[in-house]
Amino acid sequence: MNFIQAIILAIVEGLTEFLPVSSTGHMIIASSMMGIAHLPITKIFTVAIQFGAILSVVVLYWKKFLPHDGNWNEKIQFYLKLIVGFIPAMVLGYLLSDTIDALLENVVVVAIMLLVGGILFIILDKWINSSEDKEEVNITYKKAFYIGLFQTIAMVPGVSRSAASIIGGIAQKLNKKQAAEFSFFLAVPTMFAATCKKMLDFYQEGLGLDTHNILLLVVGNLVAFVVAILAIKSFIKFLTKNGFFIFGIYRIVIGTIILVLHLLGIQLTIL
């Protein structure tokens, strides 16, 4: 992998990680079209640069994550709710790890989930838009847990963690902006734990890094961090104004592209 390829993948990660379009599907297309999906460094790189995306949420919403006004009780409540929302993914991820790994090896599953999700977005768009005029509600522990349950649907590759948790939030009477932001917050413990687990697996498999690859990871994380910040800001404005319809169309297009490439015999690799 060279630096241009690393930057392209990092841009894809930053753009798609927090949008309801499935970062997995986009990584499959980008890495496969560049002919680097089979490389061990690509597998490590696409996992490691998620740290940059995670950091973008903490920096963008630092007032939520870091104590700055002396209100420690509010911060403790915030973190406890994130833990409660994270528990379903932690438990099911542990119990179903083998099944999830098997699904991750099936490109067709990703394509089908993109298509199904796209159709659902179009069907649910009016319902999602109806939440726009709602006032922000208090996110209770119960609501956080239910949103966390929705998030576990994204263990099926191609579903999109962001989409599942946002829809879960709206189902719990949050408005679109509040649901999207809680989805971002919940991504921090969920993605951090999953990324650390994957990096540990790579280490135990003996996949080492030389100086060149370490530089790739540094550049990749920086690019993913910057792009993710821009993507999050733009997504909040776009979702509030337009809803999920356009994302539904987009997912159908991407899912179709993956299926067509697969049927044409082009080698597509799950990272």
Handedness of CA 261, 4, 199, 162 (dihedral sign): negative
Token reading at 73:
């009780």
Inter-residue contact 152 to 92 (CB < 8 Å): yes
Give the per-residue pLDDT at 201.
77
pLDDT surpassing 80 at residue 181: yes
The rounded radius of gyration (Å) of the Cα atoms in the chain is 18
Report how far apart, in Å, the C-alpha atoms of 185 and of each of 85, 129, 238, 266 are: 10, 22, 19, 37
Inter-residue contact 41 to 213 (CB < 8 Å): yes
pLDDT surpassing 90 at residue 236: no
- The beta strands (E) that lie in the chain are given as none
How far apart are alpha carbons 103 and 115 in whole angstroms?
16
Residues 6+ apart with CB under 8 A from 178: 136, 137, 139, 169
How far apart are alpha carbons 248 and 215 in whole angstroms?
36
How many C-beta atoms surround the C-beta of residue 133 within 10 A? 8
Helix, strand, coil in percent for the chain, rounding step 5: 75, 0, 25
Token reading at 140:
């209770």
How far apart are alpha carbons 26 and 142 in whole angstroms?
33
Inter-residue contact 53 to 191 (CB < 8 Å): yes
Give the per-residue pLDDT at 159.
85
Give the per-residue pLDDT at 146.
94
pLDDT tens digit sequence for 13-32 = 999 888 888 787 788 778 87
Token reading at 39:
């490389």
Token reading at 117:
């999700």
Token reading at 13:
């990660």
pLDDT surpassing 70 at residue 269: no
pLDDT tens digit sequence for 116-148 = 989 988 888 777 766 566 667 788 999 999 999
Measured CA angle at 243 (ends 233, 270), to 5 deg: 75
pLDDT surpassing 70 at residue 47: yes
- Phi and psi angles of residue 154, each rounded to the nearest 5 degrees, phi first: -75, 0
So where are the chain's domains? 3-62+70-263
How many residues belong to the chain?
271
Q: In this structure, which amino acid lies at residue 78?
A: F
Rounded to the nearest integer, the mean pLDDT of the chain is: 84
